[in-house]
Amino acid sequence: MSIKTKILALIPARGGSKSIPRKNLLPLLDKPLIAWSIQHALHSKYINRVIVSTDDEEIRDVAIKYGAEAPFIRPEEISQDLSTDLECFTHALNWLDDAEKYQPSLVVHLRPTGPARIISNIDNAISLFLENMDCDSLRSVSLADQTPYKMWLHRDNRLSPAMNSDLDLSSTPRQQLEKVYWQNGYIDIVKPKTILDLQSMTGKNVLPFIINNIKDIDYFHDIPIVEEQLKKIVSGESNDEQEEDFYSV
């Protein structure tokens, strides 16, 4: 990596959450939920700036306490339940350019709701993207448990196939169908020009980063599952020296 390569970790963290109120401040193994993603980014060997985008002053204070920057408050109009990642990231990049003339080479998207990460996986994803800079973005994905080729849409009291095909997909053996992956939110990486010029969080040329057994926190029943995953990482069961150094701090 060139010393001129500016790799920004951007962590979006709204104050509002319907499923779990104040979710980003939820205590998880004695740390606020957002602190895990911040510290993962700070301990990456590639990421050289960590910013939290939030509309909430308390989250901003916690982010700064755990080592992130929070140089702006995200506007209320792009911090709603239906606001998009694209709005958040466009605002952050434009603000940084206008206020500081700072233009990152890559933006690493770390969602606070997926705290059970291994730092070496973050670095492996960044390294993979740096080797494939013809791509617009990288998305972490997992093999789907269910295939959309056998799913149906319910409209006007009738069923229609969710996937169009000349084949009778409902009768085709699953083993003959193409493997399908779902985006798991573990890590995404995107070029600023993909966001600003293409107005997209992915673009057209998307690099896969395949990683399985991922769980994030959407509802209360997810919390104990993610806590168990974190405990295994913290205890060193990840067999990763970098993790042991990080979690011993």
pLDDT single digits (tens) 106-161: 999 999 999 999 999 999 999 999 999 999 999 999 999 889 999 999 999 999 99
Asked if pLDDT for residue 51 goes beyond 80, the answer is yes
- DSSP letter (8 states) at residue 234: H
Asked if pLDDT for residue 242 goes beyond 70, the answer is no
3-state secondary structure 53-92: EECCHHHHHHHHHCCCECCCECCHHHCCCCCCHHHHHHHH
Amino acid at the residue 139: R
Q: What sign for the dihedral angle of Cα 167, 169, 174, 178?
A: positive
pTM of the complete model: 0.89
Asked if pLDDT for residue 175 goes beyond 70, the answer is yes
Asked if pLDDT for residue 215 goes beyond 90, the answer is no
Among 132, 107, 122, 96, residue whose Cα is nearest residue 192:
107
pLDDT single digits (tens) 182-198: 999 999 999 999 999 99
What are phi and psi for residue 214, nearest 5 degrees?
-100, 140
List domains and CATH numbers for the chain. Answer: 7-140+183-247 (3.90.550.10), 145-179 (no CATH)
Residues 193, 118, 79, CA angle at the centre, nearest 5°?
45
Among 184, 143, 132, 192, residue whose Cα is nearest residue 6:
192
pLDDT single digits (tens) 217-241: 888 999 999 999 999 888 876 554 4
Distance from the Cα of residue 34 to its chain's centroid: 12
